[in-house]
Structure 1
């Protein structure tokens, strides 16, 4: 029987998962190595909805380094489907992956965001993410002049 670990989200949801899944998080791995994971571990900066997704990802990726090429392709397809969520949730998962130090999940979320903006100009990117342009006309022209290569 494999060892379990208990995680508690910032909004009080409790999740039990295999240690093998949890140690994909460098933060949790350090707690396990230091024998500090025998009690419920509070994950202060992650809500239950997001922690559930992070755990699902980690459980799916247990042992993914030793998978055959065919299984790795299946896992890539699963990752693509897993990221078919709203932009706000992707950003929340990204923040959680960063907080928990889960490099593969952080890479996946960053790549997903990058794919959303590839080929878009700054105005389209601002529109996509709902970012207001707070530059004055003169400030914007100065930025364009200093970084002309980026506006070509």
Structure 2
């Protein structure tokens, strides 16, 4: 990747460090290797999109950006050691998504905005796992969806899809 005003030398190994600024102004440092897990950040680094030496992320709050940085650091480190840490990485991922729904949905939005397919898949799979055994009413409650079916329409849908309601 091209050098950037947002890149500085890392303290330990001379690796370039990227400074990210969350929507609420908190600053986070991330290695260029870890930042490259995000296609959006990779493009911003290449295009030198830093403002005063930092990349502003107006769509990502600090609590969510902290989780994104944690994910990127762990996955970048695992990529450096290749297959030897695969099981450890699976365990990390499983624990990483055991968070409250608000933060999980924030991570989904951040992964989408930052174009991080692996994180997006991980977080969406967690949501799918959370709702897989729920009834439609429960799913509506989780996502804040208003039921716009009349009782007759809902009964008709249940009859047409009776197999889905068998447990």
TM-score interval, normalised by the smaller of the two chains: 0.7 to 0.9
| Alignment partner of 2:132 out of 118, 123, 126 | 118
Q: For residue 10 of structure 1, what is the aligned residue in structure 2? A: 23
User: Once the 2 structures are TM-superposed, how far is the Cα of residue 124 of structure 1 from its aligned partner?
Assistant: 3.3
Q: For residue 87 of structure 1, what is the aligned residue in structure 2? A: 101
The gaps in structure 2 that reach 5 residues or longer are 1-13
User: Once the 2 structures are TM-superposed, how far is the Cα of residue 35 of structure 1 from its aligned partner?
Assistant: 3.4
Report the 3-state secondary structure (helix = DSSP H, G, I; strand = E; otherwise coil) of the residue aligned with 2:126: helix
2:50/2:56 contact within 8 Å kept: no
Q: For residue 19 of structure 1, what is the aligned residue in structure 2? A: 32
User: Once the 2 structures are TM-superposed, how far is the Cα of residue 23 of structure 1 from its aligned partner?
Assistant: 1.2
Q: For residue 140 of structure 1, what is the aligned residue in structure 2? A: 154
Aligned-partner Cα distance in 2 for 1:66–1:5: 18
Q: For residue 76 of structure 2, what is the aligned residue in structure 1? A: 62
Report the 3-state secondary structure (helix = DSSP H, G, I; strand = E; otherwise coil) of the residue aligned with 1:36: coil
1:94-120 Cα offsets, whole Å, 9 max, x none, are 111111111111111011111111233
Aligned-partner Cα distance in 2 for 1:31–1:87: 29
- Give the alignment's TM-score, normalised by structure 2: 0.78
Aligned-partner Cα distance in 1 for 2:122–2:104: 10
Poorly superposed stretches of 4+, deviation over 6 Å: none
Aligned-partner Cα distance in 2 for 1:68–1:20: 14
| Alignment partner of 1:32 out of 30, 42, 45 | 45
Aligned-partner Cα distance in 2 for 1:37–1:59: 21
2:35/2:42 contact within 8 Å kept: yes
Structure 1 stretch 112-121 or stretch 87-96: which is displaced more? 112-121
Aligned-partner Cα distance in 1 for 2:164–2:81: 40
